[in-house]
Amino acid sequence: MKAKDKKRSGEAEIKMEDKKTMNTLKARLGKENYRKLIRIDNPKLHQFIAKYVELCNPDKVFVCTDSPEDIQYVRQEAIRAGEEMELAMEGHTVHFDGYYDQARDKKNTKFLLPPGVDLGLNINAMQREEGLKEIHDIMRDIMREHQLFVRFFCLGPLKSEFSIPAVQLTDSGYVAHSEDLLYRSGYEEFVRLGQSARFFKFVHSAGELDERMTSRNINKRRIYIDLEDETVYSVNTQYGGNTIGLKKLAMRPAINRASKEGWLTEHMFIMGVHGPSVGVTYFTGAFPSLCGKTSTSMLPGETIIGDDIAYLRKKDGVIRAVNPEKGIFGIIQGINSEDDPLIWKTLHSPGEIIFSNVLVTEEKGVHWIGKNEAQPKKGFHHSGEWTPGKKDAEGIEISLSHPNARFTLDMRHIETLDTELDNPEGVAIGGIIYGGRDSDTKVPIEESFDWVHGVITMGAALESETTAATLGKEGVRKINPMSNLDFLSIPIGKYIENHLNFGMELKNPPPIFSVNYFLRDADGNFTNDKTDKAVWLKWMELRSHREVEALKTPTGLIPKYEDLKKLFREVLDKEYPEKDYIEQFTVRVAENLARIERVEEFYKTKVPDTLQIVFEVLKEQKQRLTLAREKYGDYISPNKLSFTKKV
Ligand code: SPV
Ligand code: MN
């Protein structure tokens, strides 16, 4: 065939394909939904939707625009179908995930990789063709008797260079409703972008539901990520971390895209810290789940842009960041009126909030572990009717609420929402924080010597004890680079290299800090109060403008006692005895050395593409610690550090 004829026949094929797509959509969507969909001029989008409508075979399809009526319809459907129940407080609803579907399922979350692509040992992957076949087989007719919601969102502010449009297909009203609270509506953005939209795609089905409206076939729970096609499939699960496409599922293709384009997708909050002389300074902070990330970003007196995910780009030699989200899917356990006044108030005010896996009381209120009110004697939750002492099928006592129980809300309900949330240019970042759950090694707050030292010893070496946010055993130490390991879609070595390079062209890289809210003393008690983090933030803000000095230890720069004493008084109106300072900031040499060895072992054995500089910087840290030990012993009080230098 001549080239011209070939082209012509190719065009004809596309026309045929388009026609077939349009006929399917017309037949399956009905007039009104079809009309809404074709306002978006994007044949690839149409084909994608037609393909999954045919495969999953829902009874009904609803195309949701940005109109308040459409959005309200989704919420009502979640309630009508029984996936959410209304609570006494106006706007509040509750949703339950299945008893064994309460957290991110790392085992069944896999990348589908074409031949020749390898993401390394730590990243769960399988052969692309095989995975696509498996998931498509599971998806066949999976939405029968369900309604399919077609949703359009924009990850990040509208009309911004940072942002990524995304389409979600889901048969869960709960998932679709959650996304309304968490993401910016994007139907009009899709209309505006038409064929130029480079969009992510998500297909989710809760699968067959039992009488309690929870996924029945969790043995066939699968979350498969196809990077080539920037599509994520999630089936037979309802837990938000497995299902809300735009949240953790979108992080995978976003990390991959960012790596190709020279920017970063991070598991980080963005918050404004308000200081005495500069006004507001924005910080990003990466913490593994359940390590105080949300509560830090919501500290009273500061302002929040996001609590979970950040896109970072370099612009004019400065890091700028946006939050792809606009809501919070936060952990509720432990929230109490004294430590978390702001979120407490929000959770007790009317307004749209979805509670998940909490205890519902007889009065249709909610209760959770750590709520500082009298505990109800009975209630209803993810295991059904509950009374204290109830045991599950394995004889394990069922707690009042699940440790990973959550609340979902739009941040506009939060008093301290920062005014820059929707700035298409993002905000300039003045400091970066890495936090982990560490009972015995790291000091509560420390600054790195420079960008490379921070990226390596605080970010790449981030280690944390596992929590209930993922299925599996709790309390096991795990290396979790930048707290982003669960979401990495590029080899770890390459990811660290991207971070190192990112700082290179910056005029003045922001300082990097590490925090540890979980240090314990010899008796096993926490050395800090939960509220102390407010002080660490103020200190970091001062440091980012070099308004206070710091003391040099073998592992970084720590606060001077006098500065903290003053800040504790100013911020918390609290006495800060020097003995507390010494307890908290004593350098625990043996523990630090052991930690570095674990980090080295991880990179040596599991990350073959680790850059040599990572090992060099870790080695230097070990040498500094060893030298200090020779002089001062295993536990070095900050007051004893005679080589301490003021910086
Ligand atoms: C986390 O676990 O890090 C979360 C909640 O932010 S989830 O959506 O499950 O990832
Ligand atoms: Mn998270």
pLDDT digits (tens, 9 = 90+) for 29-74: 999 999 999 999 999 999 999 999 999 999 999 999 999 999 999 9
CA 591 to the chain's CA centroid: 29
Q: Ligand 1 pocket test: which of 308, 483, 485 has the largest number of ligand atoms within 8 Å of its C-beta?
A: 308
- Which protein residues have a CB closer than 5 Å to ligand 2 (ion)? 308
Give the side-chain half-sphere CA count within 13 A for 162: 27
Q: Which DSSP string do the residues of 190-244 spell out, in sequence order?
A: HHHHGGG---EEEEEE--SB-TTSSBS-GGG-EEEEETTTTEEEEES---HHHH-
Rounded mean pLDDT, 516-543: 96
Distance CA 94, CA 419 (A): 30
SS3 247: helix
What residue segments make up the domains of the chain, in order of their start?
Answer: 15-83+99-261, 265-326+421-642, 329-413
Distance from Cα 265 to the centre of ligand 1, integer Å: 15
DSSP 399: P
Per-residue pLDDT tens for 141-185? 999 999 999 999 999 999 999 999 999 999 999 999 999 999 999
Question: Is there a contact between 323 and 270 (Cβ–Cβ < 8 Å)?
Answer: yes
For the chain, the residue count is 647
One-character DSSP codes across 111-125: EEE-TT----TTS-E
**Domain covering 329-413 in this structure, CATH number:** 2.170.8.10
pLDDT digits (tens, 9 = 90+) for 261-280: 999 999 999 999 999 999 99
**Residue 621 and residue 623: Cα distance in Å, rounded?**
5
Ligand 1 atom 1, closest CA: 289
pLDDT in tens, 86-108: 999 999 999 999 999 999 999 99
Residue 413 carries which DSSP code?
G
pTM value?
0.95
Mean pLDDT of 302-327: 97
pLDDT at 475 over 90: no
The pLDDT confidence band at residue 339, using thresholds 50, 70 and 90, is confident
Which residue shows structure tokens 């990850």?
155
pLDDT band with cut points at 50, 70 and 90 for residue 327: very high
Q: Is 469 in the pocket of ligand 1 (CB under 6 A)?
A: yes
SS3 content of the chain, % helix, strand, coil (to 5): 35, 25, 40
Write a three-state SS string for 451-505.
Answer: HHHHHHHHHHCCEEECCCCECCCCCCEEECHHHCHHHCCCCHHHHHHHHHHHHHC
Q: Residue 13 burial by CB count (10 A; 0-12/13-18/19+): exposed, middle or buried? A: exposed
Residues 6+ apart with CB under 8 A from 304: 269, 270, 271, 272, 297, 298, 411, 414, 416, 417, 418
Q: What is the pLDDT of residue 4?
A: 67
pLDDT at 6 > cutoff 70: no
pLDDT of residue 9: 66
291 is catalytic: yes
Instruction: Give the mean model confidence (pLDDT) for residues 283-304.
Output: 94
Q: Which superfamily is assigned to 15-83+99-261 in CATH?
A: Phosphoenolpyruvate Carboxykinase, domain 1 (3.40.449.10)
List, for residues 362-405, the tens digit of each pLDDT value.
Answer: 999 999 999 999 999 999 999 999 999 999 999 999 999 999 99
**In the block, residue with structure tokens 């011209």:** 4
Cα–Cα distance, 254 to 227 (Å, whole number): 9
- 125-127 and 406-410 strand pairing: unpaired
Predicted local distance difference test score (pLDDT) of residue 11: 66
Tell me what pLDDT residue 290 has: 83
pLDDT at residue number 643:
52
Q: Please state the φ and ψ torsions of residue 323, each to the nearest 5 degrees.
A: -100, 120
For residue 640, pLDDT beyond 90: no
241 C-alpha to ligand 1 centroid (Å):
5
Q: Is the dihedral of CA 330, 335, 339, 340 positive or negative?
A: positive
**Two structure tokens written together for 625:** 């610690």
Is the model's pLDDT at 623 over the cut of 60?
yes
Ligand 1 atom at minimum distance from 239 CA: 9
3-state secondary structure of 331: strand
Numbers of helices and strands, H then E, in the chain: 17, 33
| Residue 119, pLDDT score | 94
Which of 56, 64, 154, 291 is flagged as catalytic?
A: 291
Q: Which band of pLDDT confidence, cut at 50, 70 and 90, is reported for residue 289?
A: confident
Mean pLDDT of all residues belonging to the chain: 95
Report the chain's terminal Cα–Cα distance, integer Å.
Answer: 74
Cβ-contact 526, 335 below 8 angstroms: no
d(CA 332, CA 403): 8
Nearest residue by C-alpha to atom 5 in ligand 1: 241
pLDDT of residue 598: 97
Q: Is 329 left (phi over 0), alpha (psi -120 to 50) or beta?
A: beta
| Model confidence at 549: pLDDT above 60 | yes
**Which atom belonging to ligand 1 lies closest to the Cα atom of 307?**
6
**Cβ pair 484, 455 in contact under 8 A:** no
Q: What is the position in ligand 1's atom list of the atom closest to the CA of 470?
A: 2
Query: Helices 492-504 & 250-261, crossing angle to 10 degrees?
Result: 50
Whose tokens are 């939960």? That residue is 530
* Fold (topology level) of 265-326+421-642: Phosphoenolpyruvate Carboxykinase; domain 3 (3.90.228)
Rounded to the nearest angstrom, the distance between the alpha carbon of 102 and the centre of ligand 1 is: 11
Confidence band for 1, pLDDT divided at 50, 70 and 90: low
Mutation pick for ligand 1 pocket among 265, 329, 406, 470 (CB with most ligand atoms within 8 Å): 329
What are 415-465's pLDDT values in tens digits?
999 999 999 999 999 999 999 999 999 999 999 999 999 999 999 999 998
Query: Based on C-alpha coordinates, what's the Rg of the chain?
Result: 25
